[in-house]
Structure 1
Amino acid sequence: MAKIQNSRAKVYETRVPATEEATDHVESEGDRLIKQLVQKQLDTRLDLKEQLKQSKQFERVEEFVPLGKYTSGQTTLQQFEDCTKKASHNADLKSCGLSEYDIALLQEHENLGSMEKYRKIEVSELKKRLHDIYTKIEAREKNLAHNLIQSGGVSRHQQELGLSVKPSSDETKLLQFALSCRPASQDLRPANHPIHHLKEMEQELFGHLELNKKRGKRRNKLCEEEVSEEATTILEAWTASTS
């Protein structure tokens, strides 16, 4: 082992001049990220003012509802799958800000039920309540779609950090390949958005400049013809006077 190390040292000495010093280790972005995370984990100082200054983002907590609420006793596999889908669907509706009463009203309306339990409520009030429910669901779906398209799953900064931690690893290469194959973001702008009518706007705002340019060229051409005719006339008169 010592012979191998000595041979490597000799090869390095022959390749590197004696006056040139060995290069220092270049710290990559991944090394800095890992060092910051380690320092943050080891830092036990707590300052209430600094903690309050930091921005906080909270996710809505999903309430755990056992499947026994939707079924009881012996069930088949199909019934169990239906209960699981129903529980997941109700959890999604709760994430839209709907209450248990709103969810029951929505399901009764979608299933074309008799609405017998709501007969004491005015029809206009029920329609207004259903309209508010559908508005909340639509707003939630638009928000999720917008965040998914804009972020692409993770932010650009997170992608760069993820690719720089281990740039030569197989996982990083696979992640980079997957990001390069990601489809382009869908354009959510409506058809009447001004970005789709730039040519028409350009023609409407600056179309008169093209006409002025054509008129200027025509005027210059006429001036050149007049100057040429005058020069020819003067030349003929001078020739006649000298002869």
Structure 2
Amino acid sequence: MAETTGQIDIFEMFAEVAADDQARHEKIHGVPSLFASTTRGPAARLAEFHAWQSTWGNFDSYRTSHALIPGTCEPSQPTATCQPTSLWAGLHCSCTWTLREKTCHCVGGNLHRAACTGCDWEGENRADSDEAVCDALDHAHPGWLDDLAIEIPDRPHEKTARWSTKVTATIGDRPQGWPVITRRAEGHVGNRCVPDRSPWGGYDVAAAVARAHLDRQHRSTHLKTTPTKGSR
């Protein structure tokens, strides 16, 4: 422990005590998981995750914390109205150093969940980020799938004013944050939902993704309305 002009550095002493307490907590309990946190809202979840990092460190923090947070490119700042975003959590095993001798119950892989930057609503857990985005669009912009019937050509590499004007002229004006559904060209690098690429600052959703989401809705509705055996 360092001394300054013959005196003990009280701040360094406190830091050492805190480090010892943290090491003891790690050894007994393992590093705490944020997956079951009751915190809601993208910004609040990010703040909680950053607080976790300040205590337990940045190394492998996404996997170790299992925190549900917005993806790197997903919207996270609070908005005055409901706007869609998606969260993800890394559920890969980190037991090799967090749980020591305890039995591993890790799920593995990534999990995704719809969220809203305007309120604390969150959707169901999904295996795919695009499913989560579509769930969030259902919440923030009901009726967005009605635009699926209008064919919008594949967007240019960069969103341009000319393309935005053409899209607006084709389907009409829409509220702030409304998505655009585009027909991706054959051989396109992917169908990922891209934020801030519609003329209204919303997601660009591939038509194939939107159709798959609509099909899931129809199947879900059918299952809910079909009587089960013995229910009559």
TM-score tier (shorter): under 0.3
Say which structure, 1 or 2, has more relative contact order (CA 8 Å, 6+ apart).
1
Q: Which has the higher helix share?
A: 1
The structure with the largest strand share of the pair is 2
Greater C-alpha Rg: 1
